[in-house]
Structure 1
Amino acid sequence: MPARTSGESPRGKTRVAVLADSDTRWKWGALTAHRLAPDLHLTGFLLRGRATPTPRQLGEVGVRADRLTEVTCPEFLAELEREPYDVVVLALVGGAVQAVLHGARALWPEPGERPVLVTGYVGVVYEKLADGLLLRHGADLVLANSRHDADRFRAVYEGVGADAAAVTETALPFLGGAPYDAAGDRPYTVVFAAQPSVPESRADRTYLLRRAVEHARRHPDREVLLKLRSKPGEHTTHLEELPYQKLVEKLPGTTANLRLVYGNMGEVLDRTDLLVTVSSTAALESLHRGVPTAVLTDLGVREALGNHHFVGSGCLASWDQLDEGHRPKPDPDWLARQGVAADGPYERAFDTARERLAALAALPELPAPAPYYTCATAPGYLPGILARQHLGTDGRPLPGAVRPATGESRLRRAARSWLRDAARGAYRQGVQRVAPVIRRMGDL
């Protein structure tokens, strides 16, 4: 890819910066960067916040950067002003994407040499479609993980009079792995892919856990794995107030053939014969590999659960049906619309995005970023979005938001890091332990 910005690229590689705010978004952003620019020098940045991934979570993702730094939004913008990047991938929640886009507009208010700005979604888009999309408007490429999503994204932008040219159809970057091979000598393995926030209530989560235990008891020859995203005290993209690890401790009658597992989802799928979930993106990974996949209907098919996204997939089923040996058969047309293709076309899913990226990188200048939201279109909404990332309405850092890079001793930096980690740990304890207790007391 021809370099647009000044300076020499390391060994002629495309210089890519990925800014992510959770482990799952780091996975999406880093793998997307590799799909868009296979020959790259990857610099990673973790946006400081409640879901900043731990070293264990980053190791589980398995995607490494040439350099990885924890930053605030103003610090990241200072990095963009200081260092020449060819591509910047924003793997963030919508509000943070919007803040960076306004910060980039403040850095490049006129056409000029700047990095190509790329963003998108980490998985299934089943809620806040308009809100999330409009917060991402202004990037040069807004990646859609399927034809279905691309059509919806364009409809939203065109419906509010915003330019939809940035919408680009791709696929989830982490689909892949060996095609499903039925269990031979190993035990038949059922994997329940848990989600941090779906379902939300203790009763619903306990119900799902109990049904998994009952399935293991009914089928003692099977291995039933409860695949968890994070350990207690860690956060991922969504808050988890009621970790399954805590619930299973209080559930009587668990069986020896049910185990809790962590690790890379792809490695777990290598030994999976039936993937069960409420609405996890893991279902798309599973379907891509041809693994039998069930999306649960036990708690209803509801927008709040996200399983409505799978209507028409052929994968909807209940624990009762699975207990009796039912194996859902996915609808091929639905799979094609969702960017899930186990027969080869997936390898070309990023061709269009790579072509568009190369065309943008070849331009002598890029126009200033132009988000849909401005102080004229959203005067009661945008200032709060920017302030949460310590930016003013002009997109520039608020006073004191960027600490000087010099003059701080190693001891002082270590102390500040320790205090920040302690504060983050206290926040997580409050979310997972104190807040549920207070809510229960309020119900008395």
Structure 2
Amino acid sequence: MSHRRIAVVADSDTRWKWGASVARQLAPEHALDAVFLRGRSTPTERQLAEVGIEPDTRREATVAELTGDKELAAADLVVLAVAGGTVLALTHALGAAWEGRERRPITVSGYVGVVYEKMVDGLLTRAGTDIVLANSAYDAARFARAFDSVGVDPESVVECALPFLTGEPHRPSPDRPFTVTFAVQPSVPKDRSARLHLLERAARHARRHPDREVLVKLRSLPGEQTTHVEADPYQLLVERLSEPAPDNLRLVYGNMAEVLDRTDLLVTVSSTAALESMHRGIPTAILTDCGVREAHGNHYFLHSGCLASWDDLDAGALPMPRPEWAAAQGIGRTDPYAAARARLAELRALPHLPPLRPYYTTSSAGPYLLPILTRHGLDEKGNPMPAATPAATGGVRGAVRTAARRGAKRLYRVGHRRVAPALRRWGSV
């Protein structure tokens, strides 16, 4: 095992997948430490197994606890695979904790998927980390321009690609039926009627094409949390179909790359699974049934040539991305992390790394920054606040926590009594 270590701080299964995949691209020879932040979306054992990347060590912590974490401070690299506000809090906290050290870890931040909204919001919270990864040439250019305009070093932006754009090129197989995979999302679309419509159309497609297998690729069990909250799981909506689901419609879990191994047409509203599919040369449809809208994120694919409705797919459409659009998204690149590894080598060669300097400070944006620090248990200097007293946990906060616990128990009962039997009926992977 390598004496060098790379730590990934993650707050959900999706961000762990991104952070761990980035770690493997940046430093495949390093030992991998997983640090999961305690919270609503801390990944479960099942979710971690589905990602398929096993860390050498793993533990849970809060942001405040990480300020005194000696193992984290001893890492060579720290990948912050968390939301933008948490990156900002960690940059303050770790910057304060590592101040004056002769050597400190190199910090890396970035985005789990495509950046189709709140670009400035997310980018400026990540400013101050040593490297900010951009998943395409398009993102790298606009990130660097934004940093330069506010006085942040644009050299911290490094172009790469989504780290899970891997896998073998698509090859249809005569040994299995043509397989359509509908990659669902927890919160896109949010409306129950829209989600049920998409499921109805998947079922109708299966009925119209009995020679095909239609897979509904699920993200999480009801009660499990991921980056986004899922109010109406497809596992329950399948019971509301206007007609019984056909035999060739199946609900499946599993690692997305493994599901794509047997997929001949990927269908989604705006999941990053679309980019994985395109990278492997699999026909990919970005659904228009619920509109092409910023709220759904499918507007990002406007120029891809892959927008299609279920009616189009019923009629036999097999969309493929336009080459120029795909190239701009980093699709099809070989060794897209070479520039990031080169940047790491430059930083390692410095006699001393500069202190971590977030863009937002108490003097430049106190009313914005202070609530973020407080929410993560930090004071205005990024130091841990005293632990909450028992009295402080009562009142409204206590009531909220009690309600959350009760809600979690209800979700578990729903999953146990209703979803598990449904999955046994429809089949799962």
Question: TM-score w.r.t. structure 2 length?
Answer: 0.90
Give the corresponding residue for 2:254: 263
User: C-alpha distance in 1, partners of 2:124/2:371?
Assistant: 15
Q: From the superposition, tell whether residues 125 and 33 of structure 1 become closer, same or farther in structure 2 (CA, over 3 Å).
A: same
Q: Which amino acid aligns with 1:197?
A: S
Q: Which amino acid aligns with 2:237?
A: L
Contact 1:187 1:221 survives alignment (8 Å):
yes
User: C-alpha distance in 2, partners of 1:430/1:161?
Assistant: 49
Give the corresponding residue for 1:360: 347
Q: From the superposition, tell whether residues 336 and 425 of structure 1 become closer, same or farther in structure 2 (CA, over 3 Å).
A: farther
1:312 aligns with 2:303: yes
Q: From the superposition, tell whether residues 61 and 166 of structure 1 become closer, same or farther in structure 2 (CA, over 3 Å).
A: same
Larger CA deviation: 71-80 vs 194-203: 71-80
Q: From the superposition, tell whether residues 160 and 401 of structure 1 become closer, same or farther in structure 2 (CA, over 3 Å).
A: farther
Q: Percent identity, please.
A: 57
1:292 aligns with 2:279: no
Within a 5 Å distance, the mapping from 1:25-424 to structure 2 comes to: 25-80=15-70, 83-110=73-100, 112-253=102-243, 254-341=245-332, 345-346=333-334, 348-400=335-387
Q: From the superposition, tell whether residues 209 and 12 of structure 1 become closer, same or farther in structure 2 (CA, over 3 Å).
A: closer
Contact 1:25 1:122 survives alignment (8 Å):
yes
Structure 1 unaligned spans of 5+: 1-10, 403-420, 435-444
Q: From the superposition, tell whether residues 283 and 368 of structure 1 become closer, same or farther in structure 2 (CA, over 3 Å).
A: same
Q: From the superposition, tell whether residues 258 and 145 of structure 1 become closer, same or farther in structure 2 (CA, over 3 Å).
A: same
Q: From the superposition, tell whether residues 81 and 180 of structure 1 become closer, same or farther in structure 2 (CA, over 3 Å).
A: closer
User: C-alpha distance in 1, partners of 2:99/2:351?
Assistant: 16
Contact 2:206 2:213 survives alignment (8 Å):
yes
Report deviation, 1:299.
1.2
Structure 2 unaligned spans of 5+: 390-400, 415-429
Q: From the superposition, tell whether residues 430 and 116 of structure 1 become closer, same or farther in structure 2 (CA, over 3 Å).
A: farther
Kindly provide the CA deviation profile for residues 164-185 of structure 1, in whole angstroms up to 9, marking residues without a partner as x. 2211001111111111011312
Cα RMSD over matched residues? Answer: 2.1
Kindly provide the CA deviation profile for residues 235-273 of structure 1, in whole angstroms up to 9, marking residues without a partner as x. 111111111111111213121110100000000001000
Q: Which amino acid aligns with 1:124?
A: V
Q: Which amino acid aligns with 2:284?
A: T
Q: From the superposition, tell whether residues 57 and 135 of structure 1 become closer, same or farther in structure 2 (CA, over 3 Å).
A: same
Report deviation, 1:37.
0.7
Kindly provide the CA deviation profile for residues 107-126 of structure 1, in whole angstroms up to 9, marking residues without a partner as x. 23347411000011111111
User: C-alpha distance in 1, partners of 2:93/2:6?
Assistant: 18
Larger CA deviation: 102-111 vs 68-77: 102-111
Contact 1:193 1:276 survives alignment (8 Å):
yes
How many residues are treated as equivalent by the alignment? 402
Contact 2:72 2:78 survives alignment (8 Å):
no
Report deviation, 1:358.
1.4
Question: TM-score w.r.t. structure 1 length?
Answer: 0.87
User: C-alpha distance in 2, partners of 1:229/1:162?
Assistant: 37
User: C-alpha distance in 2, partners of 1:334/1:273?
Assistant: 21
Report deviation, 1:376.
1.5
Kindly provide the CA deviation profile for residues 133-192 of structure 1, in whole angstroms up to 9, marking residues without a partner as x. 111110000001111111121222233333222110011111111110113121110000
Match of 1:97, SS?
helix
Kindly provide the CA deviation profile for residues 188-232 of structure 1, in whole angstroms up to 9, marking residues without a partner as x. 100000000100111111111111111111111110000011011
Contact 1:176 1:285 survives alignment (8 Å):
yes
Report deviation, 1:83.
4.5
